[in-house]
Amino acid sequence: MWLPGGCASRCVLSSFGRRIFGFSFHLPSARTCNTAAFMPEAAGFEGVSSRSALQEFSVASSEGFWAAVARQRLSWISPFHTVQDCDLSRGKIKWFEGGKLNVSVNCLDRHVHTCPERVALIWERDEPGSEVKVTYRQLLETTCRVGNLLRRHGVKRGDCVTIYMPPCPLAVASMLACARIGAAHNVVFAGFSAEALAERIRDAQSSTIITVNQGVRGGKVTELKKTVDTAVQSCPAVQQVFVAMRTENPVVMTARDVHMEEEMLKEDVVCEPAAMDSEDTLFLLYTSGSTGKPKGLVHTQAGYLLYAALTHRYVFDYHDGDVFGCVADIGWITGHSYSVYGPLANGGTTVLFESTPIYPDPGRYWETVQRLKINQFYGAPTAIRLLLKYGDQWVHKYDRSTLKTLGSVGEPINTEAWEWYHRVVGDGRCPVVDTWWQTETGGICIAPRPSDPDAEIVPGMAMRPFFGIKPVLMDTEGNVVTSNNTSGALCIAQPWPGMARTIHKNHQRFTETYCQPYPGYFFTGDGAYRSQEGYYQITGRLDDVINVSGHRIGTAEIEDVVNQCSSVAESAVVGYSHNIKGQGVYVFVVLKKSVEVQEANVSKQLNDMVSKKIAKYACPDCIQFVRRLPKTRSGKIMRRVLRKVVECELNGLGDLSTLDDPAVVQEIIEGHRDLLSKQQPR
């Protein structure tokens, strides 16, 4: 693995005390908030004297706010002439037109000019205590070598390079190298199967892949190169695969494979950056939808980078010298925005976490915090719930005094986990920011911070919209709900720079999914509750998407795989509450009448198929075999009824008269009870 060395001084910043009051805690008031010191651009915003007033201004005077921030915080090759040209009803979203810039220059070159030896990346390798630090100068040199290598091998502006790598400095350099030469990148989570990888390669029309020989996670080695070899067999457009070495184990190389590190040594450490239009594609990132086909969401240059940088700075209260610890994989949007682009645009020091929360033991996160002196920690509720069950001793074993802010991402965090995170991990002194956002939004949209210094934080609530974000709740008739203490479909009323622009090769699907359900509004697909105080709490998905350990997966995607089993006649997949993963996968299976098989054998086969064709995290937690599924007279499967059965909410089954045979529901209820008596879902 290409591993430049490096060192930097570490800064430990003290945290001031916090107090718990019932179900909310308040930061003690100090001096009156100096808004211009908090955000220098605010000096030019008339009448803005507090952070809440700044948020109001950012919504009411959106163009003025974003223009000022963009001019101040991004380095432009050519200035933009139009702040925004958007029409949500048509899915038309354009920001900072006329402007030209290069994202890698904003993330690297400008910091190299001022602080070349500042640590940009800390690679927290799977092996504890073997971290690798990479300075901004070293990361720029590596990025330039990769950029020149890609150019020499024919990658040009507008191409899309697929990256199938674990979190590591070379993966970040590869992302930034694509940005430098004007190519888009398509990072695929290294836990995806060969079939899932191949589908994303084909849809992105990639001819170039970057991978590693093997991955290492939780003490286990995964054969990533072999996965790529299998995937490209069904990807005729792939011309070359660059292979880096994460381990010392050799792998079989074919005529299309290129030894990446060897070839990088031949390249110059200077690479001319391309001048990119604000709305040129920066990257594709695939996410599951309610249909079986993943969506390749398109994010563009200036707006995405600005939004990632601004949210990173203000939601987490990040300052120069801090060490930012986002433990998400780079294959997800959280890794893109808060392990790579946001921190690097701000000249920060960011951690790349390769391991798991419990390797080699359940103290891994907190030992890492102590050793790397992490100031902001950003993780998933799934991991927090898991670690909570191992007990407080694994946390107390390590010094966490450097922590200033704790963050939660991927799914709503339950109150018990929130309070443990705040009380035990943060010693009751670190604010917990429960952040709501999506791949589609590009960055955090609702979170407790930034807010006035004495503003309360309520456990389990995302609470407040970020600058420029105007959330609204819609009722079943499509009308805006104006009252508080109510629930509805969560929409965003006006565009913001970080939002996705389209779905790759399918703008119609983009508009149908996000813009047409509530014309003139961006539909998030989530439901939300707004409290009497006006705070927002996310209540879950409104479509057929399950959130497993923070990973979104469409029920149709799993059903497509299950139905490929030769023994299966049909199936239905629903999500259910899982005390560790947030949601689990529950599969109802109808076997073909002509087939005589053992249900246990079919269960194993289905788990193997889902693991192979999608990923291990999508595997069913529970499989119930039924004689038939509840359907309407038109043949539609009533998944609403199945969800109620699985959640044991039998009083909420509702009107069953529309079913072609209501008796089937009682059969399923009895089968579910029998299953629970034999086994608990994993």
pLDDT for 567-576, tens place per residue? 998 889 999 9
Q: Do 517 and 524 touch, CB atoms closer than 8 A?
A: no
Which residue is listed with tokens 């509004």? 521
Name the pLDDT band for 682 (thresholds 50, 70, 90).
Answer: very low
Q: Do 46 and 64 touch, CB atoms closer than 8 A?
A: no
List of residues 6+ apart from 653 with CB closer than 8 A: 641, 644, 645, 665
Strands 464-465, 480-481: pairing kind:
unpaired
pLDDT in tens, 39-60: 999 999 999 989 999 999 999 9
Q: Which helix (H) or strand (E) holds 585?
A: strand 582-591
Name the pLDDT band for 634 (thresholds 50, 70, 90).
Answer: low
pLDDT of amino acid 25: 42
Beta carbons within 10 angstroms of residue 482's beta carbon: 9
E strands within 1-75? 19-21, 24-26
Name the pLDDT band for 637 (thresholds 50, 70, 90).
Answer: confident
Q: Can you spell out the DSSP letters for 616-661?
A: GGGS-SEEEE-S---BBTTS-B-HHHHHHHHTT-GGG----TTBS-
Label residues 564-573 b or e (16+ Cβ within 10 Å = b).
ebebbebbbb
**Out of 191-205, 300-314, 349-363, 551-565, least confident range:** 551-565
pLDDT of amino acid 386: 87
> Is a pLDDT exceeding 90 seen at residue 10?
no
**Out of 92-106, 282-296, 466-480, least confident range:** 282-296
Q: Which residue type does 352 have? A: L
Helix (H, G, I), strand (E, B) or coil at 171: helix
What is the dihedral angle through the alpha carbons of 161, 167, 169, 172, rounded to the nearest 10 degrees? 40
> Is a pLDDT exceeding 50 seen at residue 681?
no
> Is a pLDDT exceeding 70 seen at residue 16?
no
> Is a pLDDT exceeding 60 seen at residue 3?
no
Name the pLDDT band for 639 (thresholds 50, 70, 90).
Answer: confident
Q: How far apart are CA 576 and CA 547, in angstroms?
A: 10
List of residues 6+ apart from 151 with CB closer than 8 A: 181, 271
Of 447, 442, 464, 434, whose CA–CA distance to 522 is shortest?
442
Model pTM? 0.85
> Is a pLDDT exceeding 80 seen at residue 236?
yes
> Is a pLDDT exceeding 60 seen at residue 4?
no
> Is a pLDDT exceeding 80 seen at residue 86?
yes
**Out of 255-259, 315-319, 608-612, least confident range:** 608-612
pLDDT of amino acid 292: 61
Radius of gyration of the chain (CA): 25
Farthest-apart Cα atoms in the chain, separation: 77
Across 445-456, average pLDDT: 93
pLDDT of amino acid 636: 67
Residue 488 token pair: 């509805």
Across 663-679, average pLDDT: 89
Beta carbons within 10 angstroms of residue 526's beta carbon: 19
Of 332, 271, 269, whose CA–CA distance to 102 is shortest?
271
pLDDT of amino acid 20: 26
96 vs 654, residue with greater confidence: 96
Which residue is listed with tokens 């009380």? 423
Q: How far apart are CA 181 and CA 144, in angstroms?
A: 9
List of residues 6+ apart from 391 with CB closer than 8 A: none
Q: For a pLDDT cut of 70, what percent of the chain falls above it?
A: 93
Q: How far is CA 153 from the centre of its chain?
A: 31
Using a 10 angstrom Cβ sphere, with 0-12 exposed, 13-18 middle and 19 or more buried, the burial of residue 461 is buried
58 vs 14, residue with greater confidence: 58
- Tell me the backbone φ, ψ of residue 248, rounded to 5 degrees: -90, 0
Q: How far apart are CA 250 and CA 27, in angstroms?
A: 54
Which residue is listed with tokens 């001084």? 9
166 CB-side CA count, 13 A: 28
Across 529-554, average pLDDT: 87
Strands 456-457, 24-26: pairing kind:
antiparallel
Q: Do 542 and 517 touch, CB atoms closer than 8 A?
A: no
> Is a pLDDT exceeding 50 seen at residue 8?
no
Residue 403 token pair: 């922590």
Check the CA dihedral 390-550-379-24 and report its sign: negative
Q: Do 562 and 573 touch, CB atoms closer than 8 A?
A: yes
Of 259, 74, 297, whose CA–CA distance to 170 is shortest?
259
Q: Which helix (H) or strand (E) holds 81?
A: none
Helix (H, G, I), strand (E, B) or coil at 85: coil
List of residues 6+ apart from 641 with CB closer than 8 A: 630, 653, 654, 656, 659, 665
pLDDT of amino acid 73: 98
pLDDT of amino acid 654: 76
pLDDT in tens, 490-504: 999 999 999 999 999
Residue 642 token pair: 């199945």
pLDDT in tens, 379-420: 998 899 889 989 999 999 999 999 999 999 988 888 888 999
Helices (H), 513-630: 555-562, 599-613
Q: How far apart are CA 531 and CA 484, in angstroms?
A: 6
Q: How far apart are CA 127 and CA 139, in angstroms?
A: 22
pLDDT of amino acid 294: 85
Residue 588 token pair: 């109802």
Give the per-residue SS3 of 278-335. Answer: CCCEEEEEEECCCCCCCEEEEEEHHHHHHHHHHHHHHHCCCCCCCEEEECCCCCCHHH
Q: How far apart are CA 86 and CA 93, in angstroms?
A: 4
- Measured between alpha carbons, how far is residue 90 from residues 8, 265, 496, 511, 520 in Å? 49, 48, 15, 7, 8
pLDDT in tens, 133-181: 999 999 999 999 999 999 999 999 999 999 999 999 999 999 999 999 9
Helix (H, G, I), strand (E, B) or coil at 397: coil
Q: Do 649 and 665 touch, CB atoms closer than 8 A?
A: no
Q: How far apart are CA 129 and CA 608, in angstroms?
A: 35
Q: How far apart are CA 614 and CA 108, in angstroms?
A: 35
Q: How far apart are CA 665 and CA 643, in angstroms?
A: 12
181 vs 566, residue with greater confidence: 181
